[in-house]
Amino acid sequence: MKISIIMAYYQRQALLDKTLESIDRSAVKDYELIIVDDASEPPLVCDRAKIIRVEKKNKWYTCSSVAWNMGFREATGDIIIIQSPECYHVGDVLTYALDNIKSNLYFSFGCYAIDQGETMNLQYGTMPAIGSYAIKSRTKKGWYNHSIHKPMGYHFCSAILRKDLDKIGGFDERYAHGWAFDDDDFIRRIRCKGMNVNIVDNPFVIHQYHSHFEFSQASVFGKPHLANMKIYKSGYDPNIPMDYSLNTIFYNGRDSLWTKIKENYDKFYVSYTGSKEQVIPRNLHMIWLGGDVPFKYIRLIATWKKYHSDWNFKIWNDKDAMAFDMINKVAYDGVDNLGVKSDIFRYEILYRYGGLYVDTDFECLKSFDDLLYLDFFAGGRAEEPQVANGLMACKPNDKYLKKIIDAITEKQHNMDFAVNRILKVAGAEFITTIYLEYIKNTTDKTILFPSSFFYPIPNSFRYEIRKDSLEDRIRTHSYVKPDTHCIHLWYTSWLKDEDLPLTVHTIPIKEKKEKGDSLVKFMLLTKMDNANKRRLPSSAKLKRSII
């Protein structure tokens, strides 16, 4: 199993460097290090880590719970080590976690605090004497966490399986605007979920001395401290689901929007124990309008065929759209923008045939068979709930898709097709509004998956990976997590002169009536050299497709 070490960092470069020296002595070398630089000045320097930098102007919170959740979202390991950057390893923490961690178990490693002088000596290689007593405020030395002297279970350094962290949901960001108690709440929720908390005294960590956060006067954090104390003393509420996979600020007045989405994710995926009999048919749909499919998409299309070789597969084109008995034909014909046309068309395809629709700029990493027990799923969460329509799956005659189609019908004679209104016309903003209303009362197994499943790469990253070079691919795959099924690469949808296109030929070798009055056709994907107008050698095979 792979280990991810997550740190929330602020102004502790020398202490971090010393901690990394101790981690280097571990027998475990295959791990990733993710550090959230929480607006430090100067910024953190660490070539070996994936650094998530928070600028001061963008730091809306005071509690580190938000920073921890940022780190969790980037982790790709099966085992998550949560630790403070100033906590120096004594013994092989990573090997202990790798050898002993198991489901429903939380390791909290012992943590011994040393004073300023001992911290300075440690920098020069002198280990401190370890006492047998709890931390003392006068000397600032002693055990912060120990099975006998102070059994707290805090995360100065701790280990948990990723799947158990998913169940816990990370840190509660209701504490974001205050100070402290987020750690008390975290361990309380672990225990209330029925997990076993094991305080490990050996190996353990040494807490190197540092000044107290960024506050110089106790009065500065008095009110934030009391605010978080009030939240903590309100008690544990199992009906408040946590989900670190969301982008931050989802507690800041947005609870009502997220509640049902998070409930469904937990009920029908994380904690689901019901039947997983297939509901969504194995139909894989793509759309390309306005000419030939660019050559750079060939590799991406091939990844979907690789993991779905037994699925019905079809790329729908302009001719297919013309022949399709579309409910919203007026809306489709009335718009020139190919993006809006594609939006309108995909909803009707999915409603009629069911299956999985995916844009051509996704790279597939694994089969979607494990999700076909659901009635509907999509992805694309952001700060506000958002249903991204680049990847959607449902059963035929899905009620949510029908609501989308009906909503387009109602406004098809008065649609605003300005470029800056595309998302509102038939795209993500439009269908999200309908979705949030729909899930209030439905009993369907409908899930809006976290971005890590289908959209692990941020949209802002798109301009840096346009070359599709080996370096770009390595970089994009660094965002892959255990639950990632595919990667959205955020390509533009328009043909470019320099692209070598993939011409899609739909050859009606035979036709016959089947259930649902569908036709069986065969598709041949042929690579064409536009410059020389000659057919290139192709390994493409005839593929069964549905229309």
Q: For residue 85, what pLDDT is reported?
A: 97
Residues 307 and 284: their CA atoms lie apart, in Å, by: 11
Q: Which of 104, 81, 121 is nearest to 205 (CA)?
A: 81
303-362 pLDDT, tens digit per residue, is 999 999 999 999 999 999 999 999 999 889 888 888 889 999 999 999 999 999 999 999
DSSP 150: B
Residue 288 pLDDT exceeds 90: yes
DSSP 267: I
Of 88-97, 279-288, 302-311, 430-439, the poorest mean pLDDT is in 430-439
Q: Note whether 514 and 508 are within 8 A (CB).
A: no
Q: For residue 493, what pLDDT is reported?
A: 53
Helix (H) or strand (E) run with residue 120 in it: helix 116-123
| Largest separation between any pair of C-alpha atoms in the chain | 87
Residues 448 and 321: their CA atoms lie apart, in Å, by: 28
Helix, strand, coil in percent for the chain, rounding step 5:
35, 20, 45
Q: Note whether 236 and 114 are within 8 A (CB).
A: no
Q: Note whether 459 and 380 are within 8 A (CB).
A: no
Q: Which of 137, 136, 152, 165 is nearest to 68 (CA)?
A: 165
Q: Give the Cβ contact number of residue 502 at 10 Å.
A: 22
Read off φ and ψ for residue 503, nearest 5 degrees. Answer: -85, 130
Q: Note whether 295 and 502 are within 8 A (CB).
A: yes
446-504 pLDDT, tens digit per residue, is 999 988 899 887 665 555 666 667 777 777 787 788 889 999 988 765 434 333 334 44
Task: Enter the CATH code of domain 3-252.
Answer: 3.90.550.10
Residues 354 and 295: their CA atoms lie apart, in Å, by: 28
Residues 6+ positions from 195 with CB-CB distance below 8 Å: 104, 105, 106, 164, 168
Q: For residue 383, what pLDDT is reported?
A: 53
130-189 pLDDT, tens digit per residue, is 999 999 876 789 999 999 999 999 999 999 999 999 989 899 888 888 888 999 999 999
Hey, what are 253's tokens?
Answer: 């007045």
Q: Give the Cβ contact number of residue 405 at 10 Å.
A: 19
For residue 343, with 0-12 CB atoms within 10 Å meaning exposed, 13-18 middle and 19 or more buried, which class applies? buried
Beta bridge partners of 449: 379
Q: Note whether 88 and 205 are within 8 A (CB).
A: yes
Decide whether 3-252 matches 270-546 in CATH topology. yes
17-70 pLDDT, tens digit per residue, is 999 999 999 999 999 999 999 988 888 989 899 999 988 877 878 889 999 999
Residue 91 pLDDT exceeds 60: yes
The CATH fold assigned to 270-546 is Spore Coat Polysaccharide Biosynthesis Protein SpsA; Chain A (3.90.550)
Domain ranges for the chain: 3-252, 270-546
Q: Note whether 487 and 363 are within 8 A (CB).
A: yes
